[in-house]
Chain A
Amino acid sequence: MSVPASLVAITRRQALAGLAASALRAAMARAQGAASARVVIIGGGFGGASAARTLREVAPAIDVTLIEPSRRYIACPFSNLVVGGLREISAQGFGYGAIAASGVRVIEDYARSIDPAARSVTLESGTSVSYDRLIVSPGIDIRWGALDGYGRTAIRTMPHAWKAGAQTVLLRQQLREMDDGGTVVMSVPPAPYRCPPGPYERASLIAHYLKTEKPRSKLIVLDAKDSFSKKPLFQDAWATLYPDHLEWRGASDDGRVSRVDPETRTFETDFGTLTADVANVIPPQQAASIAIGAGIADNTGWCPVEPVSFESTLQPGIHVIGDAAIMAPMPKSAFAANAQGKVCALQVARFLAGEAPAPAVLANTCYSYVAPEQAVSVVGVYRPAGDAFTEVPGAGGTSPLEHPPGDREAEAAQAAHWFDTVTREAFG
């Protein structure tokens, strides 16, 4: 996880030299009748899939390869509805057929390592894939051991359900099997983590399930923070909808979990312990292991990038997008990953055409359900400023706390519409 001392941040001059070098390499290859410029993408989530399809649309002369070990992608947005019993997991799955049909070479394999000097990716199968530009969109891994007691086997009795799929279904099943009168406990880590408002959407939908199906039961949320995304909106909804079924404890109310015991489903805080009938641990996270191994993550466990083309500041020729990258104040969301994937693809095509990247403005919207037909949202608009992003002042913000009738319902309909549109854009 630590970065070798030799890997100092690249300078702008080096970046420009890299720009010229990669365009030149691609141009020379074509001039010599060799294969066209090659872009390899690691990870077929919202970021990688969007980048792959955008590249095919804008630059058909570029040879695009997508490396993704799963045959189907299981989307995290809307998976809290599955946890809450309001949606089937099958509605979360997306294949790669349309991406392959568009001319992307889809390799169903796990990217094991990256050699930045040789510009190649080695797969689990042992074969290597060469690139002129690499886009890394691998998502998150659990930071095992960062929460005392939470190791790889803990996920059976204390599912995280923070990567959608089997874990999502397991948490839902445990909620279903719980007797009425039970206690559900969820723990929330310190920032940064995937989907900042996600824990609170999940809390809302679990509380809704308990209220409607197991009314003598209760959810207790133990949070390592005192404030969180859309807090006033969530707390307003909780007070109105779930006063008897949801209790949130922040850091200053002994909410910070210091240890868990998967055998007994027990959460330890500074001043007490709490044993759950159903336990959901949202654990500390970091960039996926491929990024750590490639030396593109810093000592925070996340990948620093420059904010125009998302090129790594640690390894030239490698772009990092999505949850693995440090894009703050832009959140780690599917919406942001989709926007970053498109912008990154456009900038990479510009690089390979010999053009400098163009100024980018990125927007993000995160919808969160607070009940089956009610949602709230937070918006941000972001511009590069120096070596990071800045949120445009006066823009963005949350849904209003005081709202006209129908406002929450309208945003729930927009959320569903967005999911439909963005998954079609990313996966076809």
Chain B
Amino acid sequence: MIGPWKTSAIVLAWALAACSEPPSPGSSQSAETGDAIAAPGPISVLAASCSGCHRAPGSGDAIPSIEGWNAAALQASLTAYKADPDGASVMHRIARGYSVDEMADIADYLGAAE
């Protein structure tokens, strides 16, 4: 459930700005034809660990599926794990490593992927 990727615009423009020569007409055309590489957004990097356990519905329900969850539900669940001082499950132990803001970003990102 990786994606969709928030395309941060420019690709060639940045690279060529680092070069002393002005962009050539050919290069900008290349960007417009879609050959350019879209940079994956920063939240995709932040959320990359999640899918090792939660990517696809696995066998059984030992690890809860997050398929179909919206952002608000994901954020509520993540912050509840983080806020529970007595919780000892794997997810409790992971949740304590992320800030509330990061959880909101991750929830938006994974929830939006549906």
CA distance A357 to B54 in the complex (A): 24
From 48 to 63 in chain B, residues with beta carbon under 8 angstroms from any chain A beta carbon are: 48-49, 51-56, 58-60, 62-63
Find chain B residues with CB under 8 A from A397 CB: 93
| B11 and A354 within 8 A (CB) | yes
Supposing A27-B11, A27-B16 touch, asked if A396 and B93 sit within 8 A by C-beta, the answer is: yes
- Are A339 and B97 CB-contacts (below 8 A) given A58-B40, A417-B62, A418-B63? no
- Is B112 in contact with chain A by the CB < 8 A criterion? no
Count contacts between A and B, CB distance < 8 Å: 181
* Residue A181 lies at the interface, judged by CB distance under 8 Å to chain B: no
CA distance A281 to B15 in the complex (A): 52
| A343 and B48 form a contact (CB under 8 A) | yes
Contact of A425 among B8, B36, B55 (CB under 8 A): B55
- Complex interface: chain B residues within 8 A of A349 (CB): 37, 39-40
- Residues of A contacting B95 with CB < 8 Å? 395
1/0 per position for A344-377, CB-CB distance to B under 8 A? 0011011011110111111111000000000001
Chain A residues positioned under 8 Å from B68 (CB to CB)? none
Question: Would you call B97 and A363 a contact (CB within 8 A)?
Answer: yes
CB distance from A34 to the nearest CB of B (A): 10
Interface size on B, residues (CB 8 A): 51
Q: Which chain B residues lie closer than 8 Å to A58 at the CB level?
A: 2-3, 5, 40, 44
- CB of A23 within 8 A of CB of B48, answer no
Smallest CB separation, B93 vs chain A (Å): 4
A352-B37, A422-B52 given as contacts; is B46 within 8 A of A358 (CB)?
yes
Contacts of B98 in A (CB 8 A): 361, 381, 395
A346 touches B48 (CB 8 A): yes
Given known A355-B8, A355-B14, contact A350–B48 (CB-CB < 8 A): no
Inter-chain contact A363/B94, CB cutoff 8 Å: yes
Q: Flag if A354 contacts B48 (CB, 8 Å).
A: no
**Contacts of A391-428 to chain B: CB distance below 8 A:** 392, 394-397, 399-400, 403, 410-411, 413-414, 416-418, 420-422, 424-425
Whether A57 sits at the interface, judged by CB under 8 Å, is yes
CB pair A361–B30 under 8 Å, yes or no, is no
Contact indicator B48/A420 (Cβ below 8 Å): no
Of residues 1 through 17 on chain B, the ones whose CB sits less than 8 Å from some CB of chain A are 2-3, 5, 8, 10-16
Given A346-B44, A421-B55, A422-B53, answer yes or no on A61-B60 (Cβ-Cβ < 8 Å): no
Cβ–Cβ contact A358 & B12, under 8 A: no
Is residue B27 within 8 Å, beta carbon to beta carbon, of the partner chain?
yes
> Which residue of A26, A33, A403, A413 is within 8 Å of B62 (Cβ)?
A413
Enumerate chain B residues within 8 angstroms of A381, measured Cβ to Cβ. 94, 96-98
How far is B88's CA from A380's CA once the two chains are assembled, in angstroms? 13
6 residue pairs of the A-B complex, CB under 8 angstroms, read A59-B38, A353-B11, A379-B93, A414-B90, A420-B58, A422-B53
Interface residues of A (CB under 8 A from B): 20, 23-24, 26-28, 30-33, 36-37, 54, 57-59, 61-62, 335, 338-339, 342-343, 346-347, 349-350, 352-355, 357-365, 377, 379-381, 392, 394-397, 399-400, 403, 410-411, 413-414, 416-418, 420-422, 424-425
